Structures are given as structure tokens and as C-alpha cells.
A and B are shown apart, each in its own frame.
Chain A
Amino acid sequence: MATTTLPPGAEITLDDHGSGKPPERTPRQRQVTMPGSQAQKSETGMWVAVSAIGMSFAAFTSAMIVRQDASTDWQRFQLPHVLYLNTLILLASSVTLELSRQRIAAMPDAARHAAGSAKALLANGIYWLYLTAALGLIFVLGQLLAWRNLAAQGLFLATNPSSSFFYLFTALHAVHLLGGMGGLFYVLRKLVRSGGAGETSGLSAFSIYWHFMDLLWVYLLLLLAMRM
């Protein structure tokens, strides 16, 4: 239950010199509450998190460039074609996520007209979210196929620095994506339990993460394509 003793309209202003005694809450209301909105907090946290992830991949990228130039042993190889199909699948998952968000965002408006249409929008939004998860899973399975393809060429983690970086980048991206799917199921569970009410903050924070994973993968693919 959200608690507050500063209802809108009764807020103390800074010009209120002389009368600005901090408002008291009753003992029953005493629990940790946050002054910022949940959405604001989640989104700030997510932007900070993706900055850190971006920084980590920047470090890996610089390591790859330095390592390639450090020696003559860099072996180029053909990237498995399945990667391009995987890219399309991942990009499609971003589209389905946005379709879901559109439906869930339209719920409050729809609820004013008819409760039934809001319910239908929620069901539709959840459907698109399941599809997003399914596409994410297919992407990871597709990456496993790419690994098998590389292994069939005799290229393993320690074979050559180029293959080391290939496995490293794809594996770390997949781990992050699977982590994101964990987050997606968490958001889904909350959406289902709350009937869609007030749970859009988690969804918008999740969408920052998921779109960033897409962007990161496109960047990694271009990097790998140039360097391999």
C-alpha cells in the first residue's frame, strides 16, 4: 500500500518559512516509502545498468582490437549465416515488445469506456510479451546453432583469439539476454497479478533493457563481421 502524508495540493513549499514543520505520519503508517515514483526509480536504475553493461562491452571491444593488432596469429573465419537470421528474430522481439507496451499503455483510456475492452487489451499485451520471450529464446537457440557451426569448422574457444572473442561476445550477450528474460517473466507475473494496474513502470524499465540488448547485438554483429 502506498502511504503518504503529503497529499497533492497540500505540499509544503520552500517559501513557507516559519510554518514548514515536517508533517507527521501515524505509527501505523510507518514503513519505508520512497519520495520518487517507482517508474522514475526503475528507469534511472535501468539506464545506469545499461551504461555499465555498455562500458563492459566497450572494454571487451578495446581488448579485441588491441589483441588483434598485438600479434600475427589472428585467424579470420566466415561468420555462420544463422547469425543474420537470429538478428532478424531479435529485432522482431523488440517490435512485439512495443506492440505489447502500446496495448498496456492504452488500458487506462479503454477502462474509462468499458472494463471489458481494458481486459482484452491486457490479454493482448500479455500475449505479445509471451511472443517476445519466445523470440528471445529462439534467438539464444539460434546462437547455439552458430556455435555448433563454428565447432564443426574446428574452431573452439581456445583455438584462436578470433574464435575466443566470438564465443566470448556471443556467450556474454546470450547470458545478458537470458537475464533479461528472467526480468520479463518477473514483469509478466506482476502484470498478471495486478491485472495490469500500475505495473507499467517495470515494463518500461524492462523495455529499455531489451532494446539495448538488441542494439548491443547489432553492434556486436557489425564488429564481428568487420574483424572476423
Chain B
Amino acid sequence: MHETSASHAAHQHTAPTSFIRKHVFSLDHKVIGKQYYGLALLAVFIGMGLSWLMRLHLGWPAWPIPLLDKLSAVGAPSGVMTPEYYLSLMTMHGTIMVFFVLTNAPFAAFGNYFLPIQIGAEDMAFPRFNMMSFWTTFMAFLVMMAAFFVTDGPPISGWTAYAPLSAVGGDAGPGLKVGQTLWAISIAIFCIGSLLGALNFIATTLDLRTKGMSLARMPYCSWAWFVTSVIALLAFAVLLPACILLILDRTAGTSFFIPAGLVLSDKLQPHSGGSPLLWQHLFWFFGHPEVYIAILPSIGIVCHILPVFARKPLLGPRATVGCMIAIGFLSYMVWGHHMFVSGMNPFSATLFSVPTLFITVPATILTLLLLGSVYGAKMRFTSASLFCLGFISVFISGGISGFFLAQPSIDIYLHATYFVVAHFHFVMAVASLFGVFAGTYFWFPKMTGRMMNEALGKLHFWLTFIGVYAIFMPMHYLGLAGNVRRYSAFVDDYLIPLIPVHKFITIAALLTGAAQFIFLFNLIWSRFKGPIASENPWEATSLEWSTATPPPFDNFGGKHMVVYNGPNEYGVESRDGKDFIMQTSPEKAPAS
């Protein structure tokens, strides 16, 4: 049992009164969580807008897209984008989505808001660092957005910024002069913000748990945020040096990543001996754990929410946490599977393939535990629980394609095709976002004091669920047919018969994207007009439901919470005739 001594309590900060300190430069973890959520929301709609532009061009490459020439007269003269500008939009779509949405929303936004409350703390361990972490991330976002407005436009090297393309200057193409430098600076700043955030999450979890909140009693999403923060700490600590080396190659004339004898636009580049593969190693050492930074918090959120609506405890609580830790550990041993065809020693491919297959074991156990937990349950079908079930579905769909890609021999064929696009969108992007949607519908009442509209929420779910399958399932077929990714139009003989599939995907993407405006409307409308939420509308057990709605500045209105039970006490008979026992209830739970 973890003991915390209130006698050592130290004053941190009092409730702010000015608007700036309350809503802008706030030290309150709840406000910072909302700020992260707002930033992720802005970013996801920009990222989605970019995917619409790309999809429109892929379906109908000759069509002028209205107003696109206003965004870039060079990149889209008379509204038809050049192949290079397509790559620019693709780079920005990937970067914005991975860093500013998938890292920010499930981890930084919900983690900031709910981690301290779920463990009974009144704030993060270092509130000032917490504030700095958000504003640093916001600065990174502004620098990234600035790339749209520089003369040569955003970079064209993809969100992975493969060298030497990303390391050389404007001779290699548009976006590589200033845009790429802005990209590298933005990501470096983002790393600093994420490191500050991870530091705070770890110290908060280790030191600020309230009385009775042992590690075994911590809710699953708090566990997921904790494991994710350890992964993030070590991953961003590697991406930052990689970005520093990249910036030096681009601005100071060093040769870390640029090989000798490189001729671009008939100009011999003044570099020698650099290793493009070095960038890939450094990047993917970060990049693969990043996949788990995106997905683990959503796994935690689903493990937290699903039992609430299944009215049954989650199967294998210790196994669930063990699997999260195993995934975090193994995530550092698999980065080379992104590089099977990059010119590594072929023997290394086997070395990276084996742990990649190993990592499917804890992922599969987690999925089976989730499925087992809902088996035979009398589910309460709400928007939140539907998105949890949707999460399991897309996680399985994306995970199964991972089995194929983990084999080097099969990956040689499938690498850089739409099969890979389908795989990572399902398993990382859509699954993670389904976790965010589930979290939003579930926690919105606690965060705002009002309920979201369930009918709109369910409509949003079904349109999105069917939509994402319509978008990404056909991509498996495209990949198997040899359709390479990153092409802006398909003119080769063997690709022409595939164009109708692309048109179908484009229509599906437009409709699914449009469905997200239902969510946005619901979010804004419910914030002001939704029915007033009670303290515990879902009849859940964890600490966030033991406090007022929305929680006061110090989270528990001056109470020091004491925890007696785990978060998993559903399907029990409590003294007051309910089927759950709160973590803070002194009533002894049978399974505790």
C-alpha cells in the first residue's frame, strides 16, 4: 500500500482570479488539459481538410479545387495541385495528425485533465512546467503552420522527413528551403514540450497518489498515461537530438545525414560521408514508440470506459496492466521493421521481425480481455460505449494487417503501398481517435457540467464507423494490387483500373469527414445547451466521479480523498442496492 503523508503537504498555488491566469496562462491541470484538447481539435480539422484536398486530387486529378490557388499560387496554379504540392500537403497531414492530434488528444489532453483527479491529487507535480509544456507545444504548432505561408511552401519529405531529401536545401525541390527548416525546428520544440509533459506525468503518478491509491488500485487509463509518459520521455529524448543534427545539416553545413557526391539540380552538394540510414534509425527509434504513445492512452481509456457500460469488471486487471507495460518495453525493440527495404543488413530484418511478432502477443491478449469483458454483458449502448466497441473492431482490423507487414519477405512487396496506409490508419490513427471520441462522450459531462446529445453521438458513431471501413478497407486491395503510396495521380497502365476504387475512397472520405461536423456541433451545442450533468451520470467507480461536476479548482473541494477499492468494482451488490462500489467508498468490495 502506498502511503502519502498529508503532513508533508506543501502549498502550491491558490485559485487565480484574473482572466489571463485563469484561462490562458493557467497552472490548473484541468485548464491545460482543455487547452491541449482545443489545440488537438483545431489540428484535427486542419489535418482532415488536408486529407480532403489530397483525396479530391487522387479521385479527380484534373479538377481545379476552389480557393486552393489562394493557399499556394505556385503549388496549385489555377487550383490544380502540382505533384510536389501534393507531397507538401501529405507531409503536413501526417505531421499534424501524428504530433498535434494523436499525441496531444489521448495523452496530453485527457491525461492532464484526469490523471491527477483519478489518483486523488490536486494538481500535477510541477504546475509551472505543465503550463510551459502546453505553450511550448502551441509554439511548435505555430512554427509548423508558418510553413504554409513561406514562399516555397511546406516540405515534401513526409512526416518521417527521410534524409537526404530533408537534409539538403532548396535544390532538391519545393518546401526544402525554409519549410523543411521550420518543420525541424517545430518538431524540436514539440519534443521539449512533450518531455516536460512526460516528466510531470511520471512524477505525479509516482509521488502524488492519495492515501489508499496503490498502483494496483490505479485506474487503467492512469496506468496507460503513466506507461505512455515513460515511453514518451525516452522516445522524444531521441527525436530531439535527431532534429538538432538535421537542423545543423540544413543550416551549418555539417554532414551527418548527407552522403558524398550528391548532385541536385546539376549542383554538387558541399557535403561528404553522411549516412541517410542514420536518420532513419534515429527517427524510427522514436517513431515506433510514437505509435504506442498514440494508441496506449486510447487502450487505457477503452479499458476504463468499457466496464462502466458493460456493468462487469474488466477481465484480468493485472494482465491488462502487464500487457501495457510489455507493449511499452517491446516498442523499443522493433523500430527496424520500418526499414526492411532501406538497405539495412538483411540479417537485421529477422532481428526486428521477431520482436515485432512478439509485440502482437500482449496486444492480442489485451484485445481478447476486452472482448471477454463484454461477452455476456448487458451492455448500455451509449455513444461512449459504441466508440469503445468500435475501437476493438478497428484495432483488430489494423492489427491483423500488421502480422503480414511484420514478415520481411511479404513487406518487400507491400512496403510503400496502400496496404501500409490502411494498416497504420486503422491501428494507430482511427483506433486512437475512437478512444478520443469515447473519452469525449464519457468525460464531457465531468469537464463541462453538461451532457452531450446521445442521438447525435450515435449518428456520429455509425457514420464514422462505416465511413472509416469504407475508406481504409479498399486500401488493402489497392496495396495488394501494387498501388504505391505518395503518387499524386495514377497514369501507369496497371494503376488505371484502380482509379474507380480511389474515387470511391474519396467519396467515403468526404462523407466521413463531413460526419465529424456533427461531433463538432454536438460538442459546441452541448457545452451551452446540453442537459445539466449529475456528479456521476454513468455510475462509474473512479475518483473523477466522486467529486463535483465540473470539479472545483482544487479538484475535491477541500477534501483529501481516501481510496478503499480498485476501479473495477462493477457487477457487485453494494449496501445501497447499486451494482458498483466507488473507489472512495469505505464499503469492502468482495473482489478487493
Contact = CB atoms under 8 A, between A and B. Distances in A.
Contacts of A37: 5, 8, 10
A132 B211 CA distance: 40
A56 B560 CA distance: 39
A66 interface: yes
Contact of B5 (A1, A20, A35): A35
A11 B4 CA distance: 10
A134 B49 CA distance: 55
B564 A34 contact: no
Nearest to B279: A63
B203 A71 contact: no
Contact of A40 (B12, B207, B244, B553): B207
A41 B557 contact: no
A154 B484 CA distance: 48
Interface in B552-592: 552-554, 556-562, 564, 584, 586-588
B586 A17 contact: yes
A157 B14 contact: no
Contact of B125 (A12, A23, A30, A34): A34
Nearest to A9: B7
Interface stretch (A46-54, A90-98, A140-148): A46-54
A70 interface: yes
A83 B486 CA distance: 50
B11 A23 contact: no
B359 interface: no
A157 B251 CA distance: 11
Contacts of A23: 559-560
Interface in A17-59: 17-27, 29-38, 40-41, 44-45, 48-49, 51-53, 55-56, 59
A35 B6 contact: yes
B207 A164 contact: no
Contact of B586 (A8, A16, A31, A157): A16
A59 B211 contact: no
A4 B6 contact: yes
Interface stretch (B138-146, B269-277, B523-531): B269-277
Main SS of chain A's interface residues?
loop
A176 interface: no
A65 B41 CA distance: 41
B13 interface: yes
Contact of B14 (A2, A32, A41): A32
Contacts of B584: 22
A55 B238 contact: yes
A6 B208 contact: no
A21 B558 CA distance: 13
Interface string B116-129: 00001111011100
B203 A2 contact: no
A12 B15 CA distance: 27
B253 interface: yes
Nearest to A30: B558
A32 B210 contact: no
A160 to B, nearest CB: 9
Contacts of B330: none
B38 interface: no
Contacts of B560: 5-6, 22-23, 25, 35
Contacts of A18: 586-587
A55 B199 contact: no
A180 to B, nearest CB: 16
B514 interface: no
Q: Find the residue from B203, B233, B554, B564 having the highest chain A CB count within 10 A.
A: B203
Nearest to A37: B8
Interface of B: 1, 4-15, 120-123, 125-127, 195, 198-200, 202-203, 206-212, 233-234, 236-238, 240-242, 244-245, 248, 252-256, 259-260, 272-275, 277-278, 281-282, 285, 552-554, 556-562, 564, 584, 586-588
Query: Which 6 pairs, one residue from A and one from B, show the smallest C-beta to C-beta distance?
Result: A71-B273, A6-B6, A37-B8, A158-B253, A25-B558, A70-B275
20 contacts: A2-B10, A5-B558, A17-B587, A20-B586, A31-B13, A35-B9, A36-B125, A37-B10, A38-B8, A41-B125, A41-B207, A44-B207, A45-B125, A45-B199, A52-B195, A67-B273, A67-B275, A70-B273, A71-B272, A157-B253
